[in-house]
Amino acid sequence: MTPDELADAVSMHRARLLAAFRGEEPWEPVAESYGVTPTGAREAELRACLEAVATWGRDAASRLGPPGVGITAHLADLVRETMNEIAPAPTTGGKAGLAMIFANATASVSWWKERYGKVKTIYVARCRFCGGKQTTALAFHCPYCGRFLYADPKQA
Amino acid sequence: MNANQQALVDRWQSFLAKIHERLAEICVEAEAGVRAIAAQHPEDQMPVSNAITGLDHRVRQLRDKIQETWDAQVEDKFSADPEIHDVGLDMKQDSEVLLDEKWSLAKAAWMSEIAREAFGRAMAAMEKPVPCSSCGAPLNLPTRIELVAATCTHCGVVNQAAPSMAIQYYFGWCVQNLADAAALPHRHAVERQRIVADRWRRDRNWAAEPVESLEEWERLERRYWETVAHERARLRNEPVDQKYIDSRMAYFYKYSLESNQQWVRAKGRHGG
């Protein structure tokens, strides 16, 4: 498993937990599959499931060698950010008729996060043919096989 | 002003004051909501921007009530008495301008507070070492607030290193909000100067605006854009972007001053 595959796996676990938490599938069997016994306190159960995923992710990452910054940040924020996401929108604004504005403001946040997840902030360009890594800034031919690093969209 | 005129002015003033009271209520509740959303999404500007867009619409609806009420119930009464027609119109305009100013100042204060809270998170993120994505050795980055290509001194691979979300949030969105907030009084000064100039012309049967007044407009407009650019440069620890100021002023000359024949006769055109 590569760091990218691990990050994808963590995102998939997170998406599945969120979907079940929101009622898209029965919550109890999902929680049990992460080793969490349902107690009726759904938010605490979700947190425990996320912590189990984070622990599993950290173990898997440590077996991959030096930790990549992307997966480390992803795991560090997993529990906090997901719990923030399921927190209800601010209920203020009732008197001035603003409650709907605040509900709408946060309505699409989880939609974007689930599809695009964490933004990678460190990236190394690799040759699409031999996997060689870029070693000179602004030089986009592979230092090993000499071919251009990026595919030409005009060529099939 | 006779008793009837005074009574009409008082009734209009009382209506306008109610609109401002309503704005104050909106501001109190909006501040709590905006700050709660910012705390809930500390590295994502979209939810706060969404909320501000919705609130802007709500305040616009409130502002529209002034015009609607003027058209439907008030204008006829002021028009019937030419002595005070302009008084009613000026009260309306002053109230609308004050409403806009209060709303923009309230938003600027919230955005500035959110930015000040984000600063600490950005500094903490900047202190974290950034490891090479290939070998994990710490990268020596020339800046943490821009996307840079950095060659790892350990394994020789080129890393494209973008600022983390906390850094992007502060040095992108928050810094712009702080710069806008710092320059806001200058924008209000421009708007007030235009009202004074318009009323001066109205009192003189719509005489041409003197060049000195247009020069004052130019000076205020330049001060606004300079303040935005200087504040942004100060907060990002970068040189002032003079090209940004020049480009904003070029639009201003082209679409504002150079559509005024007095100005063109006195100053010519900047070109373009």
Q: Tell me the pLDDT of chain B averaged across its residues.
A: 94
Amino acid at B155: C
Chain B contact for A109, CB < 8 A?
Answer: yes
Contact A129, A147 (CB under 8 A): yes
Residue A36 covered by a domain: yes
Distance from CA of A77 to the nearest CA of B (A): 11
**What average pLDDT does the segment B254-267 reach?**
93
Q: What kind and span of H or E run contains B149?
A: strand B148-151
**Residue in chain A nearest B149 by alpha carbon:** A137
The string of DSSP codes covering chain A is: --HHHHHHHHHHHHHHHHHHHTTSS-HHHHHHHTT----S-HHHHHHHHHHHHHHHHHHHHHTTSSPPHHHHHHHHHHHHHHHHHHSPPP-TTTTTT-HHHHHHHHHTHHHHHHHH-SPP-EE--B-TTT-PBP-STT--B-TTT--BSS--TT--
Contact A93, B30 (CB under 8 A): yes
Residue B221 has pLDDT above 60, yes or no: yes
Which one, of A70, A57, A61, A72, lies nearest residue A14 by Cα? Answer: A57
Residue A10 covered by a domain: yes
Residue A115 covered by a domain: no
Chain B contact for A90, CB < 8 A?
Answer: yes
Token pair of B75 as six digits: 């204008």
> How close are the terminal C-alpha atoms of chain A, in Å?
29
- DSSP lists the bridge partners of residue B159 as B150
Give which of A6, A114, A127, A134 to mutate to test B binding, by max B Cβ within 10 Å: A134
**What average pLDDT does the segment A63-87 reach?**
73
Among A18-27, A123-132, B191-200, the range of highest mean pLDDT: B191-200
Residue A152 has pLDDT above 90, yes or no: no
Against a cut of 0.80, is the pTM above it?
no
Chain B contact for A55, CB < 8 A?
Answer: no
Chain B contact for A96, CB < 8 A?
Answer: yes
Query: Domain span at residue A58?
Result: 3-86
Per CB-CB distance under 8 Å, the chain A contacts of B58 are 96-98, 101
Q: Which long-range contacts (CB under 8 A, 24 or more apart) does A112-115 make?
A: A112/B46, A113/A81, A113/A85, A114/A14, A114/A15, A114/A18
- Measured between alpha carbons, how far is B220 from B214 in angstroms, rounded to an integer? 10
Residue A137 covered by a domain: no
Q: Give the CA distances from residue B37 to residues B164, B174, B203, in Å, rounded to whole numbers and listed in that order.
A: 20, 15, 48
Give which of B29, B46, B110 to mutate to test A binding, by max A Cβ within 10 Å: B29
Count of domains observed in chain A: 1
Q: What are the tens digits of pLDDT across the range B6-65?
A: 999 999 999 999 999 999 999 999 999 999 999 988 888 999 999 999 999 999 999 999
- Measured between alpha carbons, how far is A133 from B151 in angstroms, rounded to an integer? 11
Chain B contact for A110, CB < 8 A?
Answer: no
Residue A124 covered by a domain: no
Residue A58 covered by a domain: yes
Which residues, other chains included, contact A9 with Cβ-Cβ below 8 Å and sequence gap of 6+? A1, A57, A60
State the Cα angle at B253 between B249 and B255, rounded to 5°: 115
Q: What is the pLDDT of residue B180?
A: 97
DSSP state, residue B133: T
Residue A65 covered by a domain: yes
Which residues, other chains included, contact B23 with Cβ-Cβ below 8 Å and sequence gap of 6+? B59, B62, B99, B102, B103
Amino acid at B38: A
Judged by CB atoms closer than 8 Å, whether chains meet at B161 and A119 is answered as no
> How many contacts, defined by CB atoms under 8 Å, are there between A and B?
122
Q: What are the tens digits of pLDDT across the range B161-212?
A: 999 889 999 999 999 999 999 999 999 999 999 999 999 999 999 999 999 9
**φ/ψ (deg, to 5) at A103:** -65, -45
Q: What is the pLDDT of residue A118?
A: 62
Chain B contact for A132, CB < 8 A?
Answer: no
Please, where are the H alpha helices in B41-130?
45-69, 75-79, 82-127
Residue A141 covered by a domain: no
